[in-house]
Amino acid sequence: MAEELEVYAYRTSTDRQQNLKKNDVYNLIIQSFFNTRKLHKKHGDGWLEIGQLSSGEKQKAIIDVAHSLLSKHRSSGSNLIIGVDEPESSLHMSACFDQFDSLYEISRDCMQVIFTSHWYGFLPTIESGSTTVISRNENTHIFDQINLASYREQIKQLTRTSKGRLPYDIRLKSMNDFVQSVITSAIGNEPFNWIICEGSSEKIYLSSYLSDLIESKRLRIVPVGGATEIKRLYNHLLTSYEDFQDEISGKIILIADTDAELVRYEVKNYPNLICKRIVNHPDSRTTKLVNIQANPTSPATEIEDTLNGKLFFETLKSFSIAHPDQLGFLDDITEDPTQEYSKISLDLKGSQWGLIDTFFNLENNKFAFAKAYTKGINDSFTIPSWIQEIRGWLA
């Protein structure tokens, strides 16, 4: 071109002339693309430009886009650190949980998520990570870091040792914020439905068996860390539920294990606030959902005891090579287990069940087993009857 223009030329402002590179072309395409296109959100049959959304909806859109890009576009986010200032800002209380749940999912796909917040409702529901509580003491600020995996115990300790320094009981504030989010989201013509369970493995099983309801019934499944926390949360929910029961149209379901030392409390029979515990019934060879205070109170039953026996056995065998001391005896079993609940499907000695319990109590085995079990779910394995009962409540 320079030869054709003779005494004219397209040049950069410096003496050094650079050739056009592939990245320059890419940048021009990207610039042109985003100059003519703006982010829109699906709204009914049409689309709504992001600028027309409310402040809360814009805040939610930022998290939704980040979540989608990390989970579906990038192969790894291991080099990403994401910072968000007050993700609950301008959001209705009913939407807060979803916002923080998305942040937690994002944190699993990147190096680190850092956020500031005045909403404490995430504390009872997040099982890993840390939070720093900043409180003012005279002319200075004090920082208390809490491991979320054991935050209940740490808050107790901080309350005892702070001599009134903590501005309020963080445990109470976190529970109240979470309860408000649950109650307000369960009101209306298109309510959220909730299953509140003990631990992360329970969430994995329930999320897999009820995966279709997560979208169609706006189902949220939340682990809160044990039967004692289920009791505490039920009592908080009960107070709010009784104030708003005529307006609540979504189901709030709490599910506890049957522990050897049963956590006892009275539950009321409300149609949309259901609190049950799972217990195996050896006589009828079924697993039942019973009221907390009802019979039977034994045998001790955890969710692993209630799964499809055949799939339970196949999944357990897949861990035997890595854990021969606990599971090596499974290779000697030649009889096919039935599809009844796992504790009755496998005809094992008490000492062998003890070895299986040891396996589940090692490291992160409960979580890993739950992931492996749910990957094996298909139409050839019957769904446990108690899961079907919960599905019926949500239908």
What was the pLDDT predicted at 36?
78
- Are 255 and 370 in the same domain? yes
Question: pLDDT for 301-315, tens place per residue?
Answer: 999 999 999 999 999
In a domain, 285, yes or no: yes
**Which residue has better confidence, 102 or 251?**
251
| 151 in the same domain as 213 | no
Q: Is residue 145 within 8 Å of 131, Cβ to Cβ? A: yes
pLDDT class for 173, splitting at 50, 70, 90? confident
pLDDT in the model for residue 80: 85
The amino acid sitting at 358 is T
Is the domain of 242 the same as that of 280?
Answer: yes
Cα–Cα distance for residue pair 309/333, rounded to 1 Å? 14
pLDDT recorded at residue 164: 54
Containing H/E element for 388? helix 385-394
Q: Is there a contact between 112 and 82 (Cβ–Cβ < 8 Å)?
A: yes
Asked whether residue 311 is domain-assigned, the answer is: yes
Q: What is the mean pLDDT of residues 344-370?
A: 92
Q: pLDDT for 109-134, tens place per residue?
A: 888 889 888 887 777 666 677 888 77
Same domain, 58 and 139: yes
Least confident of 67-76, 196-205, 240-249, 328-337: 67-76
Q: Is 129 within the bounds of a domain?
A: yes
Mean pLDDT of 97-111: 82
Please indicate, yes or no, if residue 136 is contained in any of the structural domains: yes
pLDDT of 78 reads 80
Is a pLDDT exceeding 60 seen at residue 206? yes
Dig out the tokens for 253 from the structure: 């379901």
Among 17-31, 119-133, 257-271, top mean pLDDT goes to 257-271
Which structural domain range is residue 265 located in? 194-394
pLDDT of residue 154: 62
Q: What pLDDT is attached to residue 305?
A: 94
Q: What's the whole-number average pLDDT of the chain?
A: 85
| pLDDT exceeds cutoff 90 at 240 | yes
Q: Are residues 222 and 324 in the same domain?
A: yes
Q: What is residue 92's predicted lDDT score, i.e. its pLDDT?
A: 76
Which of residues 120, 140, 172 is at a domain's end?
A: 172
Task: Give the total number of structural domains in the chain.
Answer: 2
Residues 127, 217, single domain; the answer is: no
Q: What percent of the chain has pLDDT over 90?
A: 42
For position 159, which CATH number holds? 3.40.50.300
Q: Give the integer Cα–Cα distance in Å for 395 and 393.
A: 6
Cα(62)–Cα(57) distance, rounded to whole angstroms? 9
Instruction: Select from 125, 140, 172 the last residue of a domain.
Output: 172
- Does 19 reside within a domain? no
Which of 148-162, 212-226, 264-278 is most confident? 264-278
Look at residues 323, 342, 336, 325 and name the one whose alpha carbon lies nearest to residue 384: 342
CB 125 within 8 A of CB 222: yes
**Quick one: what percent of the chain has pLDDT higher than 70?**
91
